[in-house]
Amino acid sequence: MKDAAIYIPACDWDSTASLPQSLPNWQYAKRLVLVNDTTHERRGEPVEADVDIHAGHITDLGREVRVARLDSATGPLEVVPSQVHLIDREDELLRCRLFFLADVPAGGSATYLLLYGNPEAPEPHYDTDLKVSGEGYALEVENEHYRAVLGKMNGNWKDHYSKRGPAELANRHGHGVEGTIHWGPDWSDERVGRYRLTNWDGPPLFDYDVIRGPVCVRIRRWGHPILSIGPQVGRPHKVMATVIYSFWAGQPYVIMESKLEVLENVRFRDCRNDEFVIGEQLPERAWMGSEGEIGLGARGWQREDPRWVTHFNRETGEGFGSIHLEFENTNPSWPQPAHAGFSHTGTWVRYPVQHAAMRAGEHVYEKNAYVLHRYEEGGEHCGLADLVGHQQRLLNPITQGEASPVPRPINLDNVMDALRATNEFELYVQGSPWGQRQLSFVDIGIVQEVVIERSDIRVDIVMPYAGRETWFNWFADGIEEQLRARLSDVGKVEVRLVREPKWTPQCLSDRACRVIGPGEE
């Protein structure tokens, strides 16, 4: 699972006693400011966030967590539908993925509170339009816009039924063990043939996990695509495929991510993704090119990726399109797809690579939104304004704003949280030295001792090696800055350099080990 763009670290929390609202049952709150820089008002907008919570602050993650919209600094709270799932536990912290629906005005912001620390909280129940049935990966998912069916054998997206009109997107034939509208991703070598995940006939050919809740249903499957005569022949072990479907409450789109990871050097004849075969009920075709131009009819592209492609029906006004959100090919010869475009009626496909030597560690990744949309004859954007509107919203999501910390009383736990807000900027996380996920002085294990005497605080730190001692004053300044910003009525701050016990890699936190990665054995 990729990191969410929004992140709330463990050290960012407030006591509910410090808030103007009366919240007698919940002890803790995390504030999240959401910013909408676009001209589109966001109503029921899906929000996905990574949240770290101190394990000692919560008894039952799924039962206790609530998300509430703060109408004003002192105004009432409105609880909104949400769901939370545990990713992992490390360093006495719970790493969680939070999903909820947000309202943010155009060109404005909104503040939400994540409430927790209530052992007596009842199990939450939210009435949304997102419904799911079935077991395992073979699910049917529906909301007010559609009903989607996933294959019982391979788990690929099989059928899609619009609730806006008569269109039934179904494919009763095609490659693989059962007809599906989503065919990819797959790859072929220049010796044998095509390796498809649509050839899967169930576990153990692939693994899967499922997230189910009132806001989001997400199915992830991963395994080696195989030849049509089974997994025992050929070279399926050289490539791993992962496909993720995300279904959201209230939205007419489904988000699909796929990734082909090369595990051993192999030569691709080609590979394919964003391949859909939806039948002939939407006979017209339209597209947006790489420069933003909109065209009608069939089209192909060489070394270029269209921004979206769609099929629609002029008579019924129904459409189903693929909005391209992200594309990445780490093979240096193919930064853009080899070619993409429409095939026969009801089909589009992208070929990221053709006739290329793929090295171990390279990958091809895509993220697309498949949206049911309206077509209006004579309307803006060639009648496809609804599709363009979804594209603009999806490519310009609401973002995380700054939430200044509320100073907390001086005690050891709060001092350690202040130290967790420091930043070892030399260790880039996700390519940036200043992001919220940056490793702290606590993570890198240089904090040896903390001593508190009334309002005075002493922190002893050890440098990882002698050369780093030249940066001691910078470390000391960062520590004092965070202590004074996050704690109330701080007196004298003393930061001391100590040399015993010596620092070793075993001093790294679990989080730091995960982020930095293992060293050589």
Output the pLDDT for position 435. Answer: 74
The beta-strand segments (E) located in 263-346 are 266-277, 284-288, 294-296, 300-302, 308-312, 318-329, 339-342
Tens digits of residue pLDDT in 106-144: 999 999 999 999 999 999 999 999 999 999 999 999 999
Output the pLDDT for position 521. Answer: 42
Tens digits of residue pLDDT in 430-480: 767 677 789 999 999 999 999 999 999 999 999 999 888 999 999 999 999
Tell me the CATH number of domain 6-126, given options 2.60.40.1180, 3.30.470.20, 3.40.50.410, 3.40.1350.10: 2.60.40.1180
Output the pLDDT for position 16. Answer: 92
Contact partners, residue 418, CB within 8 Å, separation at least 6: 11, 482, 483, 485, 486, 487
Evaluate if residue 2 carries a pLDDT over 90. no
CA dihedral for 398, 404, 409, 415, sign (positive or negative): positive
Amino acid letter for position 103: D
Residue extents of the structural domains in the chain: 6-126, 131-281+325-334+341-365, 412-516
Q: Which residue has the tokens 């360093």?
A: 91
Evaluate if residue 28 carries a pLDDT over 70. yes
Q: Is residue 392 within 8 Å of residue 407, measured between CB atoms?
A: no
Tell me the CATH number of domain 412-516, given options 3.30.930.10, 2.70.98.60, 3.30.300.130, 3.30.390.10: 3.30.300.130
Tens digits of residue pLDDT in 362-401: 999 999 999 999 999 999 999 999 999 999 999 999 999 9
Tens digits of residue pLDDT in 142-162: 999 999 999 999 999 999 999
Q: Is residue 367 within 8 Å of residue 277, measured between CB atoms?
A: no
User: Radius of gyration (Cα) for the chain, nearest Å?
Assistant: 26
Between the alpha carbon of residue 280 and those of residues 24, 155, 168, 382, 406, the distances in Å are: 58, 23, 9, 21, 58
